[in-house]
Amino acid sequence: MVDVVLMPPFDRELGGGDDRLELEAASLFALVAELDRRSPGFAQAAGLRATLAVDGMVTGDWSQSLSGASEVIVMPRIAGG
């Protein structure tokens, strides 16, 4: 199991207001698929809207294994000028 921390606005969209979930997922792709099951459409938009961090490190490789990982943070993708 991995702790999933949902930063706003994903706490409301995916957690029904809760900002923490416990999920079983082998990889980030699998985790996103599980979140999509809870909130249909998330997977399609996640690549555009969300950034994922595994144990404190942001990663763009969603094939990354979650074996041994303890925490995944789902945060909004940032923008700049």
Partner 1 sequence: MNAPERPDAFKTGDLKVVGTRPVRPDGNDKVTGKAVFGPDFKAANMLQGALLRSPHAHARIRSIDIRKAEALPGVKAVVTREDFPTLEDILMNVGETAGSVLDLSQNVIAREKVFYDGHVVAGVAATSEAVAREALALIEVDYEVLPHVIGIEDAFRPDAPVLHDTVFTRGLDEKPEQPSNVPLRMRQAKGDVEIALGDAAATVSGHYSMLPVHQGYIEPHACVASWKADGKVDIWCSSQGAFNVRGLTSAILGIPTGTIRVMPLEIGGGFGGKTTVYLEPLAVVLSRKAGRPVRLTMSRTDIFRASGPAPGAVLDVRLGATAEGTLTAAEVEFKYSSGAFSGYEVFLGISSAIGHYNIQNYVVTGWGVLSNMPKHAAYRAPGAPQVNFAVESAMNELAEKLGMDPLELRLKNAIRPGETSMSGTPHGEIALVECLEAARDHPHYSEPLGPNQGRGVACGYWGNHGGPSTASVAVAEDGSILVVEGNPDIGGSRASMALMAAETFGVDYGQVSVTIADTSSIGFSGVTGGSRTTFATGKAVVEASRAVVEILCDRAAKLWNVDRAQVEWRDGEAICGAGEKAGETLSLARIAAKADNTGGPISAEASVNPLDHLPGYAVHICDAEVDRETGHTRILRYTTVQDVGRAIHPDYVEGQMQGGAVQGIGWALNEAFVYDANGRLDNPGFLDYRMPVASDLPMIETVMIERPNPAHPYGVKGVGEVPIVPPLAAVAAAVSEATGVRMRDLPITPDRVHAVLHPDG
Size of the site for partner 1 (CB under 8 A): 24
What residues does 23 pair with on adjacent strands? 2
Q: Positive or negative, the Cα torsion across 9, 10, 14, 18? A: negative
- Contact residue for partner 1 among 1, 9, 18, 26 (CB under 8 A): 9
Binding to partner 1 in span 26-65, by CB under 8 A: 45, 48-49, 51, 53, 56-60
- Per-residue burial over 45-76, b = 16 or more CB atoms within 10 Å of its CB, e = otherwise: ebeeebbbebeeeeeeeeebebeebeebbbbe
Closer by beta carbon to partner 1, 34 or else 71: 71
Task: Using CB under 8 A, list all residues that contact partner 1.
Answer: 5, 7-9, 12, 17, 45, 48-49, 51, 53, 56-60, 73, 75-81
